[in-house]
Structure 1
Amino acid sequence: MQLIKDQMQRYEERELVEFENQGIKIFGVLHKPLAQTKAPAVLFCHGLAGHRIGKHRMYVALSECLSRVGIASFRFDFRGSGDSEGEFGEMTLEGEVSDAVKALEFLTIQEKIDPNRIGIFGRSFGGAISIFAAQKFGNVKSIALWSSVFDAEQWEKQWEMLETGQIDEKTRHELMRINGQLPSLHFYKELFNMDLKKELRALQNIPMQLIHGEKDPRVGIEHSEKYANLRKDAPAQTEFIKLEHSDHDFTYPEERVHAINMTCQWFAKTL
């Protein structure tokens, strides 16, 4: 066991941490590269009903990759997800943005973290949260988004059935359920009123990477295309990578590894 621990610590140290936001305890893991005295750092925002580990441990793998190139990272669970306090059914868009901003503030005051070289990474609904949080925080230097939600247009028919009450209670709950969990109707109202355009305009000078699977049935690639289209005249670089064989969770192994490597390189270049 000691040998395994020593091998892990050759390039990073990991720390289980917690902070409090609006009376709720938020838990996460901070990865710090050993070689750096003041390292740049990336905040991870997981998707809806997800957690800080990610499918196939993809967030852990990305954090390890970042540590190897001298970049710290902070993977945390939003309220009502993973180990953090709160109930998923009480989760709101506004609450998740608040958690992400508080996490950014927490990250910047950590020893050995350079507060002026902070990036943010978001996947799925966590991508939208990343945009709101980056604009609100105001000191994010680079952004990377995987399979990111842009708006709720894809699910308009589903919302119409929920809003008009033309289905029974059991069917309504099945339509609302996400990864086996049931968000509130209030959350769905927030989702269908969500508009990222103002925030994206405010972030035109920040480089952004977009990675999306072409076979994603859950959040179609048109979401990332909308991000790219809104940034076509942005002064900062926009990199859009399409994964030919990948679904929403990047289950195609070779392309998942490619996404991890490309995002690791992205932050190494832009932070």
Structure 2
Amino acid sequence: MERQIVIKHENEEIAASIHYPAKGKQEGRCKLRAPLVVICHGFVGSRIGVDRLFVKTARELATEGFLVVRFDYIGCGESSGNYGEHGIDSLIAQTRTVLEYGLDSFDIDPTRVTLIGHSLGGAVALLTAVKDRRVKNLVLWSPVGYPFTDIVKITGRRVYDNAIKNGRADYLGYGFTSHFFDSLGTSQPFQEATKFTGDVLVVHGTSDESIPVDYAFLYQKVFWTRPEGRCDKEILFQANHTYSSGEHQSELIRKTRHWLGGLEAVQTDWQHWMI
């Protein structure tokens, strides 16, 4: 079952969709708590995703017993507000608001809370996880590594120059302020990655023309320097930035589902050992 909801964030409304775990997936004397997944979309994206990627992911994970929340950042999709008006700190704050809603909306196992982030949403998910210890796992799809450089590459230098000169610049109908770009410049996901102690899965396609696939190797190298927490990497041959083929999309969802399922198995074994 799924339904459309609105989550209040300061003076704005975040449009979201919540997918409830399939019945029969929770077992045990008092029905085991469900794991939570929150999906963070990328730059000027929405909770639907290109070729409905996030919709399909949420529905498939829900059949596996996960409670899944996907949402539109302020100014995107059906949410209120202007996307490019605020900085990356606002994106982090919005993610935490949605996380709070997800944790309060069902009987959630606090030890099994995951953020899935795509592109810029991957960087936001990572930065959120560093700030919010309730996040235990990360799944990063084609994550941005250098927010300012990567996003300016996408928008073009002229958009950035106009924002600095005029205070605001148009890109695809979105108005981006100089503050938005300044905030990207102060965000350093690679440096912050070492502060996250949970498990991580990084997935990237070799034909990604927006964000270099080399970032996946660099992210894994950085995560490996931590004293705790594992990091797994999956490279999808010829997949583009949005996994826009049936084969690549299915492979991405399958690998994500299996990785999360592996964490579930470890958690179950640990619970049995404790008993």
Normalising TM by the smaller chain, what interval? 0.7 to 0.9
Further displaced range: 127-136 or 215-224 = 215-224
Further displaced range: 72-81 or 62-71 = 62-71
Further displaced range: 215-224 or 78-87 = 215-224
Further displaced range: 205-214 or 181-190 = 181-190
1:38-49 equivalent positions in 2, closer than 5 A: 38-49=33-44
What is the TM-score when the length of structure 2 is the normalising length? 0.83
Distance, in Å, in 2 between the alignment partners of 1:219 and 1:62 is 21
Aligned to 1:25: 13
Query: 2:180 aligned to 170, 174, 187, which one?
Result: 187
Conserved in 2, the CA contact under 8 Å of 1:104 and 1:137?
no
Give the unaligned 5+ runs of structure 1: 1-12
Distance, in Å, in 2 between the alignment partners of 1:226 and 1:153 is 16
Distance, in Å, in 1 between the alignment partners of 2:175 and 2:239 is 26
User: What SS does the corresponding residue of 2:176 show, helix, strand or coil?
Assistant: coil
Query: 1:223 aligned to 202, 208, 215, which one?
Result: 215
Shift of 1:252: 2.8
Shift of 1:163: 6.5
Shift of 1:164: 6.5
Query: 1:117 aligned to 89, 103, 112, which one?
Result: 112
Distance, in Å, in 2 between the alignment partners of 1:147 and 1:180 is 24
Aligned to 2:271: none
Query: 1:135 aligned to 115, 118, 130, which one?
Result: 130
1:194–1:61 distance in 2 versus 1, CA, 3 Å? same
Query: 1:240 aligned to 233, 237, 251, which one?
Result: 233
Shift of 1:106: 1.1
1:249 lines up with 2:237 in the alignment: no
Conserved in 2, the CA contact under 8 Å of 1:71 and 1:268?
no
1:84 lines up with 2:79 in the alignment: yes
1:57–1:110 distance in 2 versus 1, CA, 3 Å? same
Shift of 1:45: 0.4
Per-residue CA distance 1:120-149 (angstroms, 9 max, x = gap): 100000001001111111111211010110
1:32-181 equivalent positions in 2, closer than 5 A: 32-33=20-21, 34-35=23-24, 36=26, 37=31, 38-151=33-146, 152-154=148-150, 173=169, 177=171, 181=174
Further displaced range: 46-55 or 154-163 = 154-163
Conserved in 2, the CA contact under 8 Å of 1:214 and 1:244?
yes
Aligned to 1:3: none
Aligned to 1:206: 198
Letter matched to residue 84 of structure 1: S
Q: CA RMSD in A?
A: 2.5
Further displaced range: 46-55 or 107-116 = 107-116
Letter matched to residue 29 of structure 1: S
Distance, in Å, in 2 between the alignment partners of 1:168 and 1:208 is 39
Distance, in Å, in 2 between the alignment partners of 1:128 and 1:219 is 12
Further displaced range: 63-72 or 50-59 = 63-72
Distance, in Å, in 2 between the alignment partners of 1:111 and 1:155 is 36
Conserved in 2, the CA contact under 8 Å of 1:147 and 1:248?
yes
Distance, in Å, in 2 between the alignment partners of 1:156 and 1:223 is 17
Larger relative contact order (CA 8 Å, sep ≥ 6): 1
Percent identical pairs in the alignment equals 25
Shift of 1:114: 2.4
Further displaced range: 146-155 or 135-144 = 146-155
Distance, in Å, in 2 between the alignment partners of 1:94 and 1:68 is 33
Conserved in 1, the CA contact under 8 Å of 2:152 and 2:160?
no
Letter matched to residue 101 of structure 1: R
Aligned to 1:262: 255
Shift of 1:91: 3.5
* Matched pairs, number: 252
Shift of 1:115: 3.0
Shift of 1:94: 1.1
Distance, in Å, in 1 between the alignment partners of 2:108 and 2:48 is 22
